[in-house]
């Protein structure tokens, strides 16, 4: 038996930064869409989703006034835990059966993300059994900025590792979920794409060619044989994490590599490897999981 790494990254050198989760006065945000869009643009963002609660705000009316790529989105909110519909064609209506919501988002050809799992006093906005049972979604928010000032935990890599370890192949997204000026530029996604078009950003977000960050910048994520190379601009430490959150390696460098154990069974038992890159001021970048498979 031999082992291979299955990476979602490509050799494209361009990276584009954006936030997929933004509220405005169209629902419970404090500022109108044009002000929110101008704020993100002034911070150098490349793309943005306005994603109000249960309403699809048509971003085309704002596109001529910004150089950012605006992507239509909805946060499906009523009657259950919140689900993000990114690159929405038609608004998906809330249904108390969340599998119906997921199915309709996929039928709409949108990207489907389960939001802020660890929000609330019980740290359980998204019950874990429900996340385990739902079928067909693309990933979860592993960092949600607004939860920094609310009850619960902004970070949800614990949920992600549990789901990945149970065999779900899911991507981890980082978003602001901004409602007020102070919520802006907390967490974002950096997508590998030739150009910043809606279609190419959609493909990167859908296929896992992106990483989530609260400040650290990654230049490349490459694999060769059974080795993963991660090159960052500003990380001070990189940890490689495997099945059920086990840390396989900690290196205090900006450029690091990790090689799978030589024994194929041992390598296979790790299931996946993902990198957490820690920088100054508590900032982090999270790569997508690179899956460990048997060579057929
Ligand atoms: Zn929400
Ligand atoms: Zn929200």
Question: CA-CA distance, 65 to 202, in Å (whole number)?
Answer: 22
Residue 183 has pLDDT above 90, yes or no: yes
Q: Which ligand is nearest to the CA of 49?
A: 2
Is the pTM for the entire model greater than 0.95?
A: yes
List pLDDT tens digits, range 217-249.
999 999 999 999 999 999 999 999 999 999 999
Give me the domains of the chain, ranges plus CATH numbers.
12-213 (3.20.20.140), 216-294 (2.60.40.730)
Strand pairing report for 139-144 and 171-175:
parallel
Q: What is the mean pLDDT of residues 262-286?
A: 98
State the average pLDDT for the chain: 98
Residue 144 has pLDDT above 90, yes or no: yes
> Measured in angstroms, how far is the CA atom of residue 205 from the centroid of ligand 1?
19
Q: Which ligand is nearest to the CA of 74?
A: 2
> Measured in angstroms, how far is the CA atom of residue 144 from the centroid of ligand 1?
9
List pLDDT tens digits, range 59-105.
999 999 999 999 999 999 999 999 999 999 999 999 999 999 999 99
Q: What is the mean pLDDT of residues 207-212?
A: 98
Question: CA-CA distance, 146 to 159, in Å (whole number)?
Answer: 18
Q: Which ligand is nearest to the CA of 116?
A: 1
> Measured in angstroms, how far is the CA atom of residue 287 from the centroid of ligand 1?
23
List pLDDT tens digits, range 246-266.
999 999 999 999 999 999 999
Q: What is the pLDDT of residue 296?
A: 78
Q: What is the pLDDT of residue 1?
A: 85
Percent of the chain with pLDDT over 70: 100
CA distance to 70, 164, 223, 237, 260, per residue, from 167 (Å): 33, 5, 21, 28, 19
Q: Which ligand is nearest to the CA of 82?
A: 1
> Measured in angstroms, how far is the CA atom of residue 74 from the centroid of ligand 2?
9
Nearest to 288 by CA among 164, 147, 198: 164
> Measured in angstroms, how far is the CA atom of residue 187 from the centroid of ligand 2?
13
Q: What is the mean pLDDT of residues 138-146?
A: 99
> Measured in angstroms, how far is the CA atom of residue 269 from the centroid of ligand 1?
35
List pLDDT tens digits, range 2-35.
999 999 999 999 999 999 999 999 999 999 999 9
> Measured in angstroms, how far is the CA atom of residue 284 from the centroid of ligand 2?
21
Q: Which ligand is nearest to the CA of 21?
A: 2
Q: What is the pLDDT of residue 244?
A: 98
Q: What is the mean pLDDT of residues 169-177?
A: 99
> Measured in angstroms, how far is the CA atom of residue 147 from the centroid of ligand 1?
10
Half-sphere exposure of 83 (CA within 13 A, CB side): 34
> Measured in angstroms, how far is the CA atom of residue 113 from the centroid of ligand 1?
11
> CB within 5 A of ion ligand 2: which residues?
75, 177
Nearest to 213 by CA among 241, 240, 190: 190
């Amino acid at each position: 038996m031999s082992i291979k790494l299955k990476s979602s990254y490509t050799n494209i050198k361009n990276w584009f930064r954006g936030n997929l989760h933004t509220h405005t006065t169209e629902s419970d945000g404090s500022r109108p869409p044009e002000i929110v869009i101008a704020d993100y643009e002034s911070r150098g963002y490349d793309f943005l989703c306005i994603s109000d609660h249960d309403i699809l705000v048509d971003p085309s009316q704002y596109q001529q006034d910004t150089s950012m790529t605006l992507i239509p989105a909805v946060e499906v909110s009523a009657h259950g835990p919140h689900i993000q519909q990114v690159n929405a064609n038609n608004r998906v209506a809330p249904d108390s059966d969340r599998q119906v919501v997921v199915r309709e988002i996929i039928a709409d050809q949108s990207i489907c993300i389960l939001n802020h799992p660890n929000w609330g006093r019980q740290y359980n906005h998204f019950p874990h059994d429900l996340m385990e049972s739902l079928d067909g979604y693309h990933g979860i928010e592993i960092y949600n900025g607004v939860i920094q000032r609310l009850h619960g935990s902004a970070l949800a890599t614990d949920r992600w590792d549990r789901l990945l370890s149970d065999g779900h192949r899911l991507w981890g997204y980082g978003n602001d979920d901004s409602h007020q000026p102070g919520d802006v530029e907390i967490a974002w996604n950096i997508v590998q794409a030739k150009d910043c078009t809606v279609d190419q950003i959609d493909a990167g977000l859908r296929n896992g060619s992106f990483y989530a960050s609260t400040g650290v910048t990654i230049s490349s994520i490459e694999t060769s044989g059974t080795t993963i190379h991660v090159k960052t601009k500003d990380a001070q430490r990189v940890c490689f994490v495997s099945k059920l959150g086990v840390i396989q390696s900690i290196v205090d460098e900006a450029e690091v590599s990790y090689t799978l154990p030589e024994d194929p069974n041992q390598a296979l038992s790790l299931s996946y490897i993902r990198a957490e890159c820690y920088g100054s001021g508590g900032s982090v970048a999270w790569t997508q999981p690179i899956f460990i498979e048997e060579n057929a």
